[in-house]
């Protein structure tokens, strides 16, 4: 059985912020303030879905990677904007669901704040 691999993008995108962390422990001086959940939906046009299927048929997987990356970057930027000046997000989890017409990117994490 052949698996699908996603290729594409020339460089990893980095959102520069001290407000998001993948740490799972609370920083000294911070207390847990709550849980953050956020979902970004990005539509895939019928033409793009057809082009993706044709591209994948010929072995050029990853036609939609740019669409995924833009949606992910938008979600991370919105999270940074939502966090207060004394807050951080730790234990960030990013899950992706997609079908031929829609990409859904789900963000979950723990909000901590300087106490």
HEC string of the chain? CCCCCCCCCCCCCCCCCCCECCCCCCCCCEEEEEEEEEEEEEECCHHHHHHHHHHHHCCCCCCCHHHHHHHHHHHHHHHHHHCCCCEEEEEEEEEEEECCCEEEEEEEEEEEEEC
63-78: per-residue pLDDT in tens?
567 778 888 999 999 9
Report the distance separating Cα 38 and Cα 74, nearest Å. 11
Average pLDDT over residues 27-40: 88
Domain boundaries, the chain: 30-114
User: How confident is the model at residue 8, as a pLDDT?
Assistant: 40
Average pLDDT over residues 37-48: 74
Considering the segment(s) 30-114 as one domain, its CATH architecture is: 2-Layer Sandwich (3.30)
Report the distance separating Cα 113 and Cα 111, nearest Å. 7
Confidence label for 98 from pLDDT (cuts 50, 70 and 90)? confident
Report the distance separating Cα 26 and Cα 89, nearest Å. 10
Report the distance separating Cα 111 and Cα 87, nearest Å. 7
User: How confident is the model at residue 64, as a pLDDT?
Assistant: 62
pTM for the model = 0.70
Q: Is the pLDDT of residue 94 over 90?
A: yes
User: How confident is the model at residue 48, as a pLDDT?
Assistant: 53
Indicate the average pLDDT of the chain.
76
Report the distance separating Cα 8 and Cα 65, nearest Å. 6
């Amino acid at each position: 059985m052949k698996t699908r691999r996603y290729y594409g993008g020339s460089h990893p995108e980095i959102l520069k912020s001290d407000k998001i962390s993948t740490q799972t422990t609370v920083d000294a001086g911070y207390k847990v303030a709550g849980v953050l959940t956020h979902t970004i939906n990005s539509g895939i046009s019928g033409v793009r879905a057809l082009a993706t299927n044709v591209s994948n048929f010929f072995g050029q997987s990853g036609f939609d990677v740019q669409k995924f990356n833009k949606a992910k970057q938008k979600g991370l930027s919105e999270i940074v904007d939502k966090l207060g000046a004394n807050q951080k997000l730790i234990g960030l989890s990013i899950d992706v669901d997609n079908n031929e017409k829609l990409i859904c990117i789900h963000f979950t994490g723990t909000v901590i704040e300087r106490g």
